[in-house]
A and B are shown apart, each in its own frame.
Chain A
Amino acid sequence: MWRNDRSSFGWIAIILHWTIALLIGGLVILGYVMTRPDIDPELQFELYQWHKSFGMLALALTVVRIAWWWLEVPPAHPATLSRYEARAATATHALLRMLTLAVPLAGWAIASTSTLAIPTFFFDLVVIPHLPFEKSEAAEAFWTMAHSWLAYGLAGIVLLHAAAALVHHFLYRDEVLRRMLGILPRRPASNTDTSASGSEKWDIGQR
């Protein structure tokens, strides 16, 4: 139920996936809007602070998610996937995991190296310390560029990833999207292991 099993994602993985997806979608739009040069300066200040708080939330959830992926065995790719498709999916997911970590870390590095030295006051609740980097205009410019490229790169890969999911759902009519939505496939369906029950952890490595 909460945990993954052999052929489907558990609710933990599903909730993390969609919460992070929503956060990242919002953060890319927010990041783009707040950096427009003609924006009202007060609004810009406020949006930057929201961006930093939500970005830190995305980072925290991503760490949890990667830990969960590490501890849990992900379900096997649906049998409808070709060898090539399965490899492409695995590679894309690995890249997505890396970028969802790298993008907010680079953002944190901007806040930490900025000569503006604005604290990251997580939802006005706790101050998140700056990373132990030296503050300089050069370092800030570097991390700003890195964060921007990585963030729009992530957005591009997410689009590909989402397009692939939609193609599977609407063209191939397989269970790829449904099992990430928690709509359980009629089991055992394509899976030959009939002993796998919904709550049982499938503990043979299949990464």
Chain B
Amino acid sequence: MGHRATLRTMIAGLALLAATPGWGHAVSLDDAAGRYAIDRSSRIGFSVGQVGGGGISGKFTKFSGTFNLDQHDIGKSVVEFSLFPETVATGEPRVESFLRSRAIFDIKDFPQIVFRSTKISQTGENTAEIEGKLTARGTTRTERFQAELTKWNAHAISFHIKGNIYRAPYNMAVGIPIYSNVVQFDMTVNGVRR
């Protein structure tokens, strides 16, 4: 009940902030609940710091996924996401082919990186922590991401999601310590109601 009330207030607040005509009434979790497909307009960005400053940053341009916002309990919501590391884009072709190679993603043997949430807990008015299993290069580990609701309307919903992942446990340790072990994900995930 508590979760539901908070999310309801949050969505109502956002709707008011947006001050869009027609949004003048409070929105309930009942309204936001449902199944969403992760839209292509999402941005899956990452960066890896390097010694002395700077680093590599880029994004993945092909991915897919869905999420279910539970009508009664946000904790029962589920996120599923996969991305295709082949589509890594950094602006430097040699870096990209290195990332695709056996040194890092090994896209021939492991064409997908998959995340499936196991636990979602609300952490603030419009924030939540998503815990789940990340599988990359044949290794599965529990990871956490922080999500913030940034936009909502009757058809679509957006989150800003951040998370720091250690890459060495996934057999992607090359370049440490010149390049950081930590990969910082910074994503804008847009869901379109199905």
Contact = CB atoms under 8 A, between A and B. Distances in A.
B52 A127 contact: yes
Nearest to A128: B52
A33 interface: no
Tell me if B's interface is mostly helix, strand, loop or mixed: loop
Contact of A121 (B51, B94, B102, B174): B51
A50 B94 CA distance: 20
Contact of B94 (A42, A116, A129): A116
A54 B180 CA distance: 22
B21 interface: no
B54 interface: yes
A26 interface: no
Interface in B61-114: 92, 94-95, 98, 101-103
B124 to A, nearest CB: 38
A41 B178 contact: no
B177 interface: yes
Contacts of B50: 119
Contacts of A46: 174
A117 interface: yes
Contacts of B54: 117
B175 interface: yes
Given A42-B102, A42-B103, A45-B174, A115 B92 contact: yes
A118 interface: yes
Interface string B154-183: 000000000000000000001101100000
A121 B103 contact: no
B178 A119 contact: yes
Given A115-B92, A116-B95, A127-B52, 11 more contacts: A42-B102, A42-B103, A42-B174, A45-B98, A115-B94, A117-B54, A118-B178, A121-B177, A121-B178, A124-B177, A129-B52
Contacts of B52: 119, 121, 127, 129
A49 interface: yes
B175 A45 contact: yes
Contacts of A45: 98, 103, 174-175
A202 B130 CA distance: 77
Nearest to B174: A42
Interface string A161-198: 00000000000000000000000000000000000000
B51 A40 contact: no
Nearest to A44: B103
A116 B52 CA distance: 15
Contacts of B94: 115-116
A96 to B, nearest CB: 32
A40 B98 CA distance: 10
A189 to B, nearest CB: 53
Nearest to A43: B103
A202 B144 CA distance: 72
Contact of B92 (A40, A116, A129): A116
